[in-house]
Structure 1
Amino acid sequence: MSTEVKVPTLGESVSEATIGQWLKQPGEAVALDEPIASLETDKVAIEVNAPVAGVLAQQLAEVGATVTVNAVIATITAGAAAAAPAPAAAPAAAAVSAPAETGGEESSDPAVLSPAVRRAVLEYGIDPATIKGTGKDGRITKEDVVAAAKAKPASTGAAISVPAAVATNERREERVKMTRLRQTIAKRLKSAQENAALLTTFNDVDMSAVMEARNRFKDSFEKKHGVKLGFMSFFAKASVLALKDIPAVNAQIDGDEIVYHDYVDISVAVSAPSGLVVPVVRNVDKMSFADIEKSIANYGKAAKDGKLTMEDMKGGTFTISNGGVFGGLMSTPIINPPQSAVLGLHRIEDRPVVRNGQIVIRPMMYIALSYDHRIIDGREAVTALKTIKEAIEDPTRLLIDL
C-alpha cells in the first residue's frame, strides 16, 4: 500500500515552494517523521517528513521544481519492506546537484559534489575522500572543506583527484539556478533601493570598554547563563537606547502614514547555508544581556541547521548586520523593508587615535547606519548613531538608561 507525501503548509501567505534537495532516494527505507526532502520558500527552508515508515517508492518532482501546498511530491510504500529498486528516472534526479548557495551538502564522490563544494575542493587542493562530512547523512559541506584545508599540513605529497577540465586548463563555465531564497533576497534589496531614499551615516567606536567588560565577566557570565557573552548584546541594548530616543528610526512607512512602535524587535542578520537570513529577536527593550545572547545563539544554530521557521523571520522594526565577522572594514548596508534603518557593524582593529592630546592605540570599529531619508532626517540618524557610539564607549549608560 502506497502513501502520498504532500507539501505541508508553508506559512502565512506562502502558497508555493521549490524542491531544494531530496534527502532520500527511491528504494531507501524511511522512518516515521524522517525528513525525506527539503523545500525552499521565499524566506526559509522547510523539511518534508515521512507520514509513515516504509520505503520511498517514487519522487514525483525534480530538484528545482516549483510545488504548491498539498501537492503530492512522493509516495512511500508503507511497512518494513525491503528496499525496492529505484525507478529508471531516479539516477537522473539523484545526480542533480544542490544550488551553490545551499552550502553544498553532498556526498564525497567528486562526480556528485555540489558546485560550491566542488569549487572549494579545487581551490584548497583537498581530496574529498579524506573529508568527513558533517552535513545531513554525512554529506560534505563547504565548511567541511574549509576546515580540512586549515588542518592540512603545509605539504602532504598526497595525490589529489582533479577533474580533467581543470588538469588541462580548459576554460569552464557553470550555470546554477538561483534558489528561491536568493531570488527573494535579490528582489527585496532591489526594491529597497528603488522605493526608499537610502542614505548612510558613519561613525567610529572605541571598543576598549566593552572588550574590557567582556574579558572581565565572560567566564562568570557563561557559567551562570550557559551562553557566551558577545558584542551583539551590547549593540542591541545600545540600539534600544537610540531607538527610544529617536522613534523615527524604529518606525516604518505604510502608505501615506508613519507607523511608530513602542517596542523594539531587532532583526539580526545571520548566515545560513542558503544565504543571509534575518530572524527577529522580539521585545529586546525588555530583555537582559543573557536573554539576547541566548536568542541570537539559538537563531544562529537554527539557521545553520536549516531549522528557522516563517514565524522566526516575521516582523522586525530594526536590523543589526555584523559584516565584521567576515572581516569587513566598512559598508553601506541596505535596509530590510518595511523597516527604515539598519545598523552595520564591522571588524575591530587597532588604530592610532588621539586621547587627551596623546596619540594612543585603541581597538576601533567603524559603524554605519543606513536609513530611509523619507521619514528619518539626517540630524536624527546622526544622533541615533552617536547615541549607540556613546553607549558602547561607556557601557554604564546601558545600566542607567542614559
Structure 2
Amino acid sequence: MSDAPEAGAPLPRQRRHTLFFLEVIRDFSPVFLDTEVDMSRVLAHRASAQESGGVRYSTTSYVLRAAGRVLAKHPDANAAVSGGPLRPRIAHYPFVNGKVALDRVLDGRRVVLGTIVPDVHEAELPAIQAHLARIRDGDPERLPEFEGVRKLHRAGWTEGRRAFRKAAHSLALRPHLNGTFAVTSLGHRAVDSFHSVGGTTTTFGVGRVLDRPVVRDGRIVVAPVLRLSLAFDHRVIDGAEAADVLTEVKEALESV
C-alpha cells in the first residue's frame, strides 16, 4: 500500500489569501529592472545607531524610507489602476504607504503576510523600524493587522474570494490594504536578487548585502553591495520613469 498523500487534497485554508492575491495580480503588466547599491554608508549608519542607541535598523527600513521619499516626488508612480482594459481608472495618492511582505507562521503553517507602513514619505527610521519590529515580534494570530486575513481563512472559499476581489479592486481601499508600493526581502538567506509583483505599481526586491568588487576613483576596491530590483506595472508608468525611481532610490541609499 502506498503512503503517498491522497490526490486532490484540499488546499490549506492558511494559503487562501495568497491564492486570492495571485489571481488578482494577473491583471498586472510587470516589467523588471535591477541595479546595484553600494551599502557602505547604510552599514556605517546602522553600526553607529546600534552603538549609540542599541537599535539595529533593517535593510528593509532603509529601503522603505528611501522609496517613500522618492515616490512622493513621482506622483504618477505612486498611483494605481483598476477597471480592466475596457474602462480603466487611475488614482493618484497624496500619501505613500509601503507594504512589506513577511515570513510568518499562522495557525501552525508558514505563510506570507503583509503589513502596511503608513506615510513613509514622512516617517523616519525609528518609527519605520518600530512598526516592523512590532509586527515581527507579535503573534499573527492576535495582531489586529491580520484580522482580515484570519477572517478570509474562516470564510468559505467563494465568500472569501469575492470579498478579497472587491477590496483589491477598490482604488480607495487599495493603498490602505495593499500599500502604494511594496518591498519584499529575501536578503536574510543566500539570495542575491529576485523580482516580485507585490500588487502595487512598484515593488522593490531586496537581496542580500555581499562584499563585491567595485570601482572607486579608478581603483578596484571591495564594498558591501545590495542588488535591488524594481518590478513596475507598465499600465501605470513607462520604463523611463521607473528607471528614474530606481536610480533615485539607489542614490538615496548611497547618500544616507
1:19 aligns with none
Aligned residue number for residue 128 of structure 2: 292
Q: Is the CA contact (8 Å cut-off) linking 1:251 and 1:258 kept in structure 2?
A: yes
Select the residue among 320, 337, 342 that pairs with 2:183.
320
Asked if 1 retains the 8 angstrom alpha-carbon contact of 2:101 and 2:114, the reply is yes
Q: Does 1:230 pair with 2:63?
A: no
| 1:169-213, Cα deviation, whole Å (9 max, x unpaired) | x98433564223413312322431x31111111111011110011
Aligned pairs for 1:338-349 within 5 A: 339-349=200-210
Match of 1:352 among 213, 217, 221: 213
| Equivalent of residue 146 in structure 2, options 273, 297, 309 | 309
Deviation at 1:314, TM superposition (A): 2.5
1:294, distance to aligned residue in structure 2 (A): 0.4
Could you say if the C-alpha distance between residues 319 and 303 of structure 1 is closer, same or farther in structure 2, counting changes exceeding 3 Å? farther
1:40-79 equivalence runs, <5 A:
none
Which whole-Å deviations, capped at 9, do the CAs of 1:251-297 have from their partners, x for residues lacking one? 10132221011101111111111411111111222322111110010
Higher relative contact order (CA 8 A, sep 6+): 2
Aligned in 2, Cα 1:374/1:357: closer, same or farther, shift over 3 Å?
Answer: same
Alpha-carbon shift at residue 238 of structure 1 (Å): 0.5
Whichever residue aligns with residue 13 of structure 2, its letter is R
What letter is aligned with 2:5? E
Q: Percent identity?
A: 26
Supply the distance in 2 between the matched residues of 1:310 and 1:263 (Cα, whole angstroms): 24
Is 1:270 aligned with 2:84?
Answer: no
Which amino acid in the other structure matches residue 28 of structure 2? A
Bigger radius of gyration: 1
For residue 16 of structure 1, what is the aligned residue in structure 2?
A: none
What is the SS of the residue equivalent to 1:296? helix
40, 44, 47: which one aligns with 1:215: 47
Aligned to 2:93: 261
Quick one: which of 187, 199, 205 aligns to 2:31? Answer: 199
Higher helix share: 2
Equivalent residues in 2 for 1:2-401 (5 A)?
172-174=3-5, 177-192=10-25, 194-222=26-54, 227-255=55-83, 256-273=88-105, 274-302=110-138, 307=143, 308-310=145-147, 314-336=177-199, 339-395=200-256
**Number of equivalences:** 219
- Give the TM-score, by structure 2 length: 0.78
Kept after mapping to 1: 8 A contact 2:215/2:221 = yes
Contact 1:323 1:346 survives alignment (8 Å)? yes
Residue 210 of structure 2 aligns to a residue whose secondary structure is strand
CA distance in 2, matches of 1:303, 1:202: 34
CA change 1:216–1:393 in 2 (3 A) is same
Q: Distance in 2 between matches of 1:381 and 1:303?
A: 36
Q: CA deviation at 1:394?
A: 0.8
Aligned-partner residue type, residue 245 of structure 1: K
Is the CA contact 2:68–2:97 (under 8 Å) kept in the aligned structure 1?
no
Q: Report the Cα offset of residue 306 of structure 1.
A: 5.3
In the alignment, is the contact (CA less than 8 A) between 1:221 and 1:229 conserved in 2? Answer: no
Please report how far the alpha carbon of residue 305 of structure 1 lies from its aligned counterpart in structure 2 after TM superposition: 5.6
Q: TM-score, normalised by structure 1?
A: 0.51
Paired residues of 1:229 and 1:293 also in contact (CA < 8 A): yes
Output the CA distance in 2 between the equivalents of 1:253 and 1:201: 20
Task: Specify the alignment match of 1:101 in structure 2.
Answer: none
* Alpha-carbon distance between aligned partners in 2 of 1:295 and 1:390, rounded to the nearest angstrom: 25
**Is the 8 Å Cα contact of residues 271 and 304 (structure 1) preserved in structure 2?**
no
Distance (Å, rounded) in 2 between the aligned partners of 1:369 and 1:269 = 15
Structure 2 unaligned blocks of 5 or more: 150-175
Could you give the per-residue CA deviations for residues 345-391 of structure 1, whole angstroms, max 9, x where no partner exists?
00111111111111111111111111110111101111101111001
Paired residues of 2:69 and 2:120 also in contact (CA < 8 A): no
Say if 1:245 and 1:384, in contact at 8 Å, map to a contact too.
Answer: no
CA distance in 1: counterparts of 2:139 and 2:182, whole angstroms: 17
Q: What corresponds to 1:102 in structure 2?
A: none
- Give the whole-Å Cα distance in 1 for the aligned partners of 2:104 and 2:49: 30
Alpha-carbon separation, structure 1, partners of 2:125 and 2:76: 25
1:326 aligned partner, one-letter code = R
Instruction: Tell me by how many angstroms 1:311 deviates.
Output: 6.3
Aligned partners of 2:92 and 2:10: how far apart in 1? 39
Do the aligned partners of 2:140 and 2:146 also contact (CA within 8 Å) in 1? no
Compute the RMSD of aligned alpha carbons: 2.2
- 1:271 touches 1:303 (CA, 8 Å); kept in 2? no
Contact 2:69-2:122 at 8 Å conserved across structures: no
